[in-house]
Amino acid sequence: MYRKPVSPVLVVIAHGSRDPRHAATVHALVRRVRSSRPGLRVETGFLDFNIPSVHGVLESLATDGVRDVVALPLLLTRAFHAKADIPAVLRDAPSRLRIRQAEVLGPSPLLLSVLEQRLHEAGSAPADRSSTGVVLASAGSTDPEAITVIADIAREWRRTGWCAVRPAFASGGSPSAFPRTEDAVRELRALGCSRVAVAPYVLAPGFLPDRIARGAAEADVLAGVLGPAPEVARVLLERYDAARAPALAAVGA
């Protein structure tokens, strides 16, 4: 008798934060993913600060008899956490687990649409688009790949009709990479943009998003974080589906 292969368990790996808003946002996003894909087992693990830990989640899955797992980094760029921290944690997982690490969430046109939505919610009107400069404010990184991705997103977004789009870092970037949020706001003013909006390219509230908000003090509009938007949940499932196909093939082998 044919038996349909069991879908790999999706383990969403978040960074974690002392700020309780971070974990609350992650859990809200995971609830949306579950509601979008009934029957899919979705677990959440944190690298630091919050529980359950990634290691604890993987140990629990192995105890439950799970064999196949897709580990999905809740990150917007492939920087240190995606390239070093998470693989190191996964290498320490129980040997009975077959784990595939999915790609990070960004870049994606769906995430760009959420950025647009958040700006609209914050008061940026379509009629102001051509006179508004946007600061694309991310947490920051020294990783060249991550820096390139953020720069590419800014260039792509500029083509949609904004006066200008400037990438900025809250922290972590080298001095030659991108300016801080407040400096990017001033650059756009000097460029001649009548209005300046700051769009945080971050998933959840926390220390660095708060720093972005402080840097937006001289801006006209400050958008909210991406948060548990339906589009973000769709990107998670897209990354899961891309990673699960080889795992399902292995189950059916």
164 CB contacts (<8 Å, ≥6 apart)? 133, 134, 158, 188, 191, 193
> Distance between the two ends of the chain, CA-based, in angstroms?
15
Mean pLDDT, rounded, of the chain: 93
Give the pLDDT confidence score for residue 171 in this predicted structure.
78
Give the pLDDT confidence score for residue 224 in this predicted structure.
98
Give the pLDDT confidence score for residue 253 in this predicted structure.
38
Pick 229 or 175 by higher pLDDT.
229
What is the arithmetic mean of pLDDT over 191-197?
98
Give the pLDDT confidence score for residue 231 in this predicted structure.
98
DSSP letter (8 states) at residue 93: S
* R_g of the chain, CA atoms, integer Å: 19
This prediction's pTM: 0.94
Structure tokens at 247: 């795992």
For 175-186, what is each residue's pLDDT tens digit?
A: 557 999 999 999
* CB atoms inside a 10 Å sphere around CB 4: 8
Give the pLDDT confidence score for residue 35 in this predicted structure.
98
What is the arithmetic mean of pLDDT over 197-224?
97
Select from 225, 226, 247 the least CA-distant residue to 102. 247
For 40-74, what is each residue's pLDDT tens digit?
A: 999 999 999 999 999 999 999 999 999 999 999 99
Least-confidence region, from 8-12, 140-144, 146-150? 140-144
Phi, psi of 38 (to 5 degrees): -60, 140
Give the pLDDT confidence score for residue 6 in this predicted structure.
85
Percent of the chain with pLDDT over 70: 93
- Alpha helices (runs of H) in the chain, residue ranges in sequence order: 20-36, 54-63, 80, 86-91, 109-121, 144-158, 181-191, 207-215, 230-252
For 97-136, what is each residue's pLDDT tens digit?
A: 999 999 999 999 999 999 999 999 999 999 999 999 999 9
The pairing of strands 68-73 and 9-14 is: parallel
Give the pLDDT confidence score for residue 147 in this predicted structure.
94
Give the pLDDT confidence score for residue 252 in this predicted structure.
46
Whether pLDDT at 1 is above 50: no
pLDDT band at 230 (very low <50, low <70, confident <90, very high): very high
pLDDT band at 247 (very low <50, low <70, confident <90, very high): low
